[in-house]
Amino acid sequence: MLNLTLKKEPFEEIKSGKKRTEYRIFKPYWIKRLMNEDGSFKKFDLVYFRNGYHKNAPTMLVEIIEIRIIKERRSWFFSQKYFEIELGQIVNTNT
């Protein structure tokens, strides 16, 4: 299971179904967390989202459809390579 912490706005957008994709910049930290040494992706079926770091923070469990590497996106990441995590159904919420 992949664990990700989010701020309130993106957490609520995913919860409402408005946001179906999560992004992470292609940096060593995320490469190590999402990829194997041979360059293949680690197998994640679910992502556990946590809204902040508080002990009783709202959480949500969501299916992962696919993780991809996108080579360029000219707006949000300013033409950097990034990971795109396509989200599926919400399995469980604790809000």
**pLDDT for residue 39 is more than 60:** yes
pLDDT given at position 15: 97
Of 5-19, 50-64, 79-93, the range with the lowest mean pLDDT is 79-93
pLDDT given at position 11: 97
pLDDT given at position 81: 85
Q: What is the CATH number of domain 2-94?
A: 2.30.130.30
Return the HEC string of the chain: CEEEEECHHHHHHHHHCCCCEEEEECCHHHHHHHECCCCCECCCCEEEEEECCCCCCCEEEEEEEEEEEECCCCCCCCCCCEEEEEEEEEEEEEC
